[in-house]
Amino acid sequence: MPTHRHGPSSPVSPSKPWQSRVPSFRAAIRESESEEQLSRENTRGTTQSRSSTKTARWWRIQLFRGMINDVKRRAPYYWSDWRDAWDYRVVPATVYMYFANILPALAFSLDMFAKTNASFGVNEVLLASVLGAVVFALAAAQPLVIVGVTGPITVFNYTVYDIITPRGTNYFSFMCWIGLWSLVMHWILAITNSCNALKYVTRFPCDIFGFYVAFIYLQKGIQVLTRQWQSGDTSAYLSIVVALLVLIVAYICGIVGNSNLFQRQVRRFIEDYGTPLTVIFFTGFVHIGKMRGVQLSVLPTSRAFFPTVDRGWFIHFWDIDVADIFIAIPFAVLLTILFWFDHNVSSLIAQGTEFPLRKPAGFHWDLFLLGLTTGVAGLLGIPFPNGLIPQAPFHTNSLCVTRQVSDSDENNKGHVHRIVDHVVEQRVSNLTQGLLTLGTMTGPLLIVLHLIPQAVLAGLFFVMGVQALEGNGITLKMLFLFKDKELTPGSEPLKQIHRRRAIWCFVALELFGFGATFAITETIAAIGFPIIILLLIPVRTFLLPKYFSPEELRLLDAPTASPFTMESVGGNFGEDVDETIGDGRGDDPPLRGLTSTSSSSMSDKYRSVGFVGLGAMGYPMAQQLAKKLPDSSQIYVFDVVRQSMEKLCSQENGRVNSCQSAKEVAERSNIIISMVPEGSHVRQVYLDERAGVLTADVSNKLMIDMSTIDTATSNTVREQALSKYPSASFYDAPVSGGVLGAEKATLTIMLGCAEDDAQLPLLQDLLGMMGKSIFPCGGPSLGLTAKLCNNYCSGLIAIATSEALNIGMRSGMDPRVLANIFHTSTAQSAICDKWNPVPGLCPEAPASHGYQAGFKVQLMKKDFGLAVETAERVGARLALGKVGLEVYEKTSEDPKSSLQALQPTIPSQQSQPRPIRIQSTMSSSSSSDPKVADAHKTLFDAGLEMRYAVAGKTYVDRALQNGSSAFARPMQEFVTESCWGSIWTRPGLELKQRSLLSIAMLCALNRSTELGVHVRGAVNNGASEVEIRETLLQAACYCGMPAGIEGFKVAERVLKEMEAERTEEKK
């Protein structure tokens, strides 16, 4: 049945660049859903409905385990990190990150130069950036993280200077000991798996820290401008103007990059290079006209590759009192706290949920490397480098490869937008930008840097501060609170919070945390600000849940990174991920938290995928998975028709494995997908006490039911699954698009999940192998609600379209003309355009193929009835619901609709127009008892499915057509029910054995026509020519030679015909 073309809009917008068997299931109906796909194609999918509530102990004192597992996870990707660099995106990403890293570093060097009496200058800051880039590019588990000099370490450095130098202590030697002590502390924390505590780090402390860093940037810009009065009023005022112009122009470049102005290549160039070009332009701008005569302060530099002050690069750390060595310990503790939080958060943001990363993270190992660079930096007398939070997403975003998708719904037809396809994950861009930074320390480039006015660097501070504020969660919440309630769209997640006071309180707490952090940095105790940042973590974890409800916290706060990223540290808060890597037993790893959207790199997570239900829809969907999953993946399938499993297994050459029950599928798979016709079947698949999915241990596994059923059943299955296995996940994901959409992988999939679901990337990737348009619908069972609403709408449109065409044809109109009018007028719909019920108007429509393979009226009656029940449950008033349901209920009594789809009878020139007729499924026999009629119908449908599978669709359709008269039809129904529905579907004998038995008996009875059919069926069921020959010889021996000779003639003729057919197919 086609569905209406007006689908929901895609919720995803591009991110900013800166930031045994089943009882009674044997006779089940197969859902041959030829449903129209929602026309909004090429949209990006999303998803998850819940996260686990099972909490694990975060501090697992198993020495070195975290580091070892990080290396094991990442090591298999090391060489691909270099090979994958052969991609054009690496070139602009390298240039972009060179400027994005060096320009803030130069600004920080100016600040430290002024506040540490020239102890740190340009060369020290550049060398610190080089050290971080080279070490992390070559050896880090996550080479996308950019390491350099940050605003907080600038505050730390000059605060230590203010405390230590009045005592007469050698500043560089003291800083060296801080670095060495911190190295030891970093290594202790890495060895003891301290990064497991990152599971408690949510957006709450990250947003506060980001807000603090943003204001630090703004403050630094103002401080640079205030120093310009030392050169005179004119210089100061010109510096203010230049700084503001830098801010305005750079900000406009960001706006243009995200607009629809110019061509995409131009926009991308402005987006990537707008800020560095702004710096270059205003460096020359101050020399225009009368500004040339104004003396502006410029960036101070020193000799190439030499420290700013007269000293060597290696610090004499022994030139210090023993007491001062131990005084450095508390400073090292504060530095370690700062780096533990700052670097790990920057790494989390660089691997945020908006980036479809394919390669694993490694926080423990990277913390170990950070300790190494901290110690080396201390020995060299340079600022300690660590992860750059404001620039954290810049590198990842610059490596995103996007693709263009179009909107095809009526309201946005012709509009296009871009979505992220994948990220070029490699090490070359980080290493190269570090080497370019090293080249900047050469004499000629230092001369160029010396030309940059300090006012331009002040403007750069403003740019970074504004950009950091713009995407900060605190800013976004405040903007929401200040918006007009009437003009705030309903899609805004915060509108789901009923207590508006809760939002105000949450924002107030965040601002209080920011205020406390910022205030302490303005005092001599500024060095202690990392402690306040660290305290925000337990505040969020233990105190906020006492006032805010779980639903409010879900909307106000969220994990910083996806579970895939967090696997290194045991998952996000509330999840329990087994960190064991390669236990040698062949067990599949826990599935929780994949974010990748590239199937080629997911072999470790897609190692085992299960599929239950190989009907008309399920079979081609499973085929698509077999084609697109990584080569190392294994697929486990179960269906009550064993022949369907055997056929799929033989086609996929050992990659697909048949199972004896849904339970076995669940035991052998990490992902379990089900696609069955009705809610009763879903209950049997999951809840059957002997062979259901939930009789297996599905902890940490993902279950996706793609059946169209009632929401009550889906919620029941989900609740039982999650109550029994809290770490499991269950989603409803009904589809639209029919058999054709399943065969072409163009299905529309409606996910019962929230848009901020942590499992979104995995679901997008997995379901994208079977469908084209994937929509998150908001939460559990809402995918089914969307599907039922869609089919309710399309069901009414189908009736109206058929009736309207019938009116026109009865009046003498050419249906083609009328269909064209509909297409360009308000009656336009996908039903008319793609699934027109008049033969010949749409080549791929069932009407143009004898009304075969259409969406059966019974299935529409089921879906339509479920939609009406849902409306009654939620109190929605329906004017046409009962009328439409009555039409489908009455039509389903027509005995011919077991073969045909929605059909208007076309009046001919030789006959009077006949009334429009909607065909139905199998007649309910002669019984007036509804239960008996349903039993007949169930057996008939199961038998027809088996009959198609064994004898072939062409023969069966011809037999049914020849026996469609009122006199002959009961015999066809009896054969289909009793023989094929009752006997052939029984367990105990394989289909091949039944075929060989049938050949022997038909040979004995000398029934040549039927014998030919079953010879063909035996081949379809896997029998060889030798087995067929020996069966006929056995029959001839016991039933007579004439019968045997005739049997051989028939069999030889059929086998030759099949060989000719195979040869023709190959051609």
Instruction: For residues 651 and 632, give the distance between their C-alpha atoms in angstroms, rounded to a whole number.
Output: 17
Q: Look at residue 327 and tell me if it is in a domain.
A: yes
Query: Which domain-ending residue is among 724, 759, 779?
Result: 779
Specify the range with the lowest mean pLDDT, choosing from 136-140, 237-241, 566-570, 766-770.
566-570
Residues 92 and 194 placed together within one structural domain of the fold: yes
Question: Average of pLDDT values for 1020-1026?
Answer: 84
State yes or no: pLDDT of 690 exceeds 80.
Answer: yes
Instruction: For residues 860 and 900, give the distance between their C-alpha atoms in angstroms, rounded to a whole number.
Output: 13
Confidence (pLDDT) at 314? 92
Q: What is the pLDDT of residues 892-904, one digit of tens each?
A: 776 655 544 444 4
Tell me the pLDDT band of 13, cut-offs 50, 70 and 90: very low
Residues whose CB falls within 8 Å of the CB of residue 133, separated by 6 or more in sequence, listed in order:
101, 146, 147, 148, 430, 431, 433, 434, 435, 437
Q: What is the pLDDT of residues 443-454, one digit of tens each?
A: 888 888 888 898
Instruction: For residues 335 and 1004, give the distance between their C-alpha atoms in angstroms, rounded to a whole number.
Output: 92
Q: Which is higher by pLDDT, 485 or 189?
A: 189
Tell me the pLDDT band of 847, cut-offs 50, 70 and 90: confident
Segments of 518-614 assigned E as strands: 608-612
Residues whose CB falls within 8 Å of the CB of residue 900, separated by 6 or more in sequence, listed in order:
846, 850, 851, 852, 854, 919
Residues 465 and 384 placed together within one structural domain of the fold: yes
> Amino acid letter at 192?
T
State yes or no: pLDDT of 574 exceeds 70.
Answer: no
Instruction: For residues 449 and 280, give the distance between their C-alpha atoms in angstroms, rounded to a whole number.
Output: 10
State yes or no: pLDDT of 465 exceeds 50.
Answer: yes
Residues 599 and 667 placed together within one structural domain of the fold: yes
State whether the Cα torsion 433-435-441-444 is positive or negative. Answer: negative
Question: Average of pLDDT values for 194-220?
Answer: 86
Q: Look at residue 135 and tell me if it is in a domain.
A: yes
Tell me the pLDDT band of 243, cut-offs 50, 70 and 90: very high
Q: Which is higher by pLDDT, 932 or 796?
A: 796
State yes or no: pLDDT of 100 exceeds 80.
Answer: no
Pairing state between β 747-751 and 735-736: antiparallel
Into how many domains does the chain fold? 3
Residues 743 and 864 placed together within one structural domain of the fold: no
State yes or no: pLDDT of 915 exceeds 70.
Answer: no
Q: Which is higher by pLDDT, 907 or 932?
A: 932
State yes or no: pLDDT of 927 exceeds 70.
Answer: no
Residues 125 and 215 placed together within one structural domain of the fold: yes
Arithmetic mean of pLDDT over the chain: 80
Residues marked active site are found at 787
Q: Look at residue 685 and tell me if it is in a domain.
A: yes
Decide if 279 contacts 246 (C-beta within 8 A): yes
Q: Look at residue 288 and tell me if it is in a domain.
A: yes
Instruction: For residues 978 and 624, give the distance between their C-alpha atoms in angstroms, rounded to a whole number.
Output: 34
Question: Taking Cα atoms as reference points, which of 214, 151, 246 lies closest to residue 465?
Answer: 214
Segments of 564-684 assigned E as strands: 608-612, 634-638, 656-658, 671-674
State yes or no: pLDDT of 274 exceeds 70.
Answer: yes
Q: What is the pLDDT of residues 370-401, one digit of tens each?
A: 999 999 999 999 999 998 876 777 788 888 88
CA torsion, ordered 824, 826, 827, 832, to nearest 10 deg: 40
Instruction: For residues 534 and 523, give the distance between their C-alpha atoms in angstroms, rounded to a whole number.
Output: 19
Query: Which domain-ending residue is among 779, 812, 839?
Result: 779
Question: Average of pLDDT values for 539-561?
Answer: 85
Residues 210 and 257 placed together within one structural domain of the fold: yes
Q: What percent of the chain has pLDDT over 70?
A: 83
Decide if 350 contacts 144 (C-beta within 8 A): yes
Residues 732 and 788 placed together within one structural domain of the fold: no
DSSP for 163-177?
HHGGGT--HHHHHHH
The residue range of the domain holding 711 is 589-779
The encoded tokens of residue 688 equal 């059957």
Give the CATH number of the domain where residue 700 resides: 3.40.50.720
Q: At what angle do helices 90-115 and 151-164 cross, to 10 degrees?
A: 20
Confidence (pLDDT) at 405? 53
In the 8-state DSSP scheme, what is residue 539? I
DSSP for 669-723?
-SEEEE--SSHHHHHHHHH-TTT-GGGS--TT-EEEE-----HHHHHHHHHHHHH
Q: Is 417 helix (H, G, I), strand (E, B) or coil?
A: strand
Confidence (pLDDT) at 31? 38
Q: Look at residue 233 and tell me if it is in a domain.
A: yes
Residues whose CB falls within 8 Å of the CB of residue 847, separated by 6 or more in sequence, listed in order:
835, 836, 837, 838, 839, 840, 841, 854, 901, 902, 903
State yes or no: pLDDT of 601 exceeds 80.
Answer: no
Q: Look at residue 18 and tell me if it is in a domain.
A: no
- φ and ψ at 472, to 5 degrees? -75, 145
Burial of 914-947, coded b for 16+ CB within 10 Å and e otherwise, reads: eebbbbbbbbbbeeeeeeebebbbbbbbbbbbbb
Residues 761 and 788 placed together within one structural domain of the fold: no
Residues 143 and 282 placed together within one structural domain of the fold: yes
Q: Which is higher by pLDDT, 775 or 405?
A: 775
Question: Taking Cα atoms as reference points, which of 701, 711, 707 lies closest to residue 674?
Answer: 707
Q: Look at residue 945 and tell me if it is in a domain.
A: no
Q: Which is higher by pLDDT, 22 or 754?
A: 754
Name residue, tokens 């995106």.
89
Q: Look at residue 537 and tell me if it is in a domain.
A: yes
Question: Average of pLDDT values for 520-526?
Answer: 77
State whether the Cα torsion 584-589-595-599 is positive or negative. Answer: positive
Residues 190 and 141 placed together within one structural domain of the fold: yes
In the 8-state DSSP scheme, what is residue 109? H
- Neighbouring C-beta atoms of residue 141, cutoff 10 Å: 27
Instruction: For residues 182 and 1033, give the distance between their C-alpha atoms in angstroms, rounded to a whole number.
Output: 87
User: Residue 202 forms beta bridges with which residues?
Assistant: 559
Confidence (pLDDT) at 917? 34
Q: How many angstroms separate the most distant Cα atoms in the chain?
A: 121
Residues 837 and 728 placed together within one structural domain of the fold: no
Question: Average of pLDDT values for 688-716?
Answer: 89
Query: Which domain-ending residue is among 902, 921, 940?
Result: 921
State yes or no: pLDDT of 841 exceeds 80.
Answer: no
Give the CATH number of the domain where residue 872 resides: 1.10.1040.10
Question: Taking Cα atoms as reference points, which of 559, 582, 588, 554 lies closest to residue 702?
Answer: 588
State yes or no: pLDDT of 583 exceeds 50.
Answer: no
Residues 793 and 697 placed together within one structural domain of the fold: no
Tell me the pLDDT band of 61, cut-offs 50, 70 and 90: low
Q: What is the pLDDT of residues 658-678, one digit of tens each?
A: 898 999 999 889 899 999 988
The encoded tokens of residue 366 equal 């990277």
